[in-house]
Chain A
Amino acid sequence: MHPFTYVAPRTLDEAVAVLEQHGERARPFAGGTDVLVQLRGGRFDLDAIVDLKGVPEATTLDLNGSLRIGAAVPCYRIYEDSAVAAAFPGLIDAASLIGGIQIQSRASLGGNLCNASPSADGICPLIVHSTVAVVQGPQGERRVPVEEFCTAPGANVLGRGELLVALEVPAPDKGFGAAYQRFIPRNEMDIAVAGVASALTLGEDGATIASGRIALAAVGPTPLFAAKASAFLAGKPATPETFAEAGEIASTEATPIGDMRGTAEHRIELVKVLTRRTLAIALGRAQSNR
């Protein structure tokens, strides 16, 4: 591993300054669960690692109707916060299954997003929650919808000197429910063969879907917002038939490859099944959120 220095800034400005100075030769660092592995594997070299865990904006978890998750907040803080867990079960689905307990002590949803893996468990639930990524850079702050954050496998929209500060998850509407499931061959520790996050908001009647959002993991070059399947849900009755059809539509939006984790055919099938299953869970949550 190419030797790098360790920088632990106390302020956002300081962090941005170091990142800007080194450009591509520096990276922000939160849980380290991806970047250290990639460095050891020779995927890239760095001259500096910028630990965000001393930066207050990156480490706060703030629930105030909406939820602000600092980019370096580890998974366990999210799922062990009972108020957050009660309000955002769809995020908990992901936060509690990334890696094992050891990984959850370190890994953050922000890091999961920046790592921009197509199979990331954390990104799809953020997408269906209409989460906004708060980015700080030399030119100040900008806000990016999560579904636009990843640009290719391992690539994201961050420019020189920019870092992800926090994720802002809007307060769920009344009648909103979300869920995430992934399929893995083992019961823990695997990377998703496919994953689906679904969200729906029930209309006044409690039986019709006012709006819905579906996002797909590990079936494309980035986590995908399934626009057609999402649009399809609006106005439809919240029934198993609707969910199954949404799954069929979502599967047409997936562009999976076959690899060591599963075949393309299998992934297409999984999108259908997981869409159906997550919509059913989301419905249950929506009904208890009215």
Chain B
Amino acid sequence: MATVFLSIPLRRYTSGESSAEVPGATLRALVRNLNERYPGIAESLVNPEDADRLMPGLAAIVDGEPTNMGLLTPLDADSEVHFIPAISGGAAVSNSEPGGGERCA
């Protein structure tokens, strides 16, 4: 079971819980399972126009490093996942093409 840390905006779906233990072999599966437990939370995580990608402006940190495969990122049984705002304002990241979506602060 991966541990998901939930940022403050996401906690309105979780009755204030700041983390959750959720199964999933990939980030996409994890989000699916998370959404079953906390209905609606996926709307804040998944790009409405491309279900393989994270919401624009959001980054996922898996085991200390940003993902580079978006929701397709594989997870380990004990992975730690953070959803946090992507760097904006010109930091060094491209979200513009498929395969991007990584955060690099």
* A contacts B: CB pair < 8 Å: no
| A-to-B contact residues, CB < 8 Å | none
| B-to-A contact residues, CB < 8 Å | none
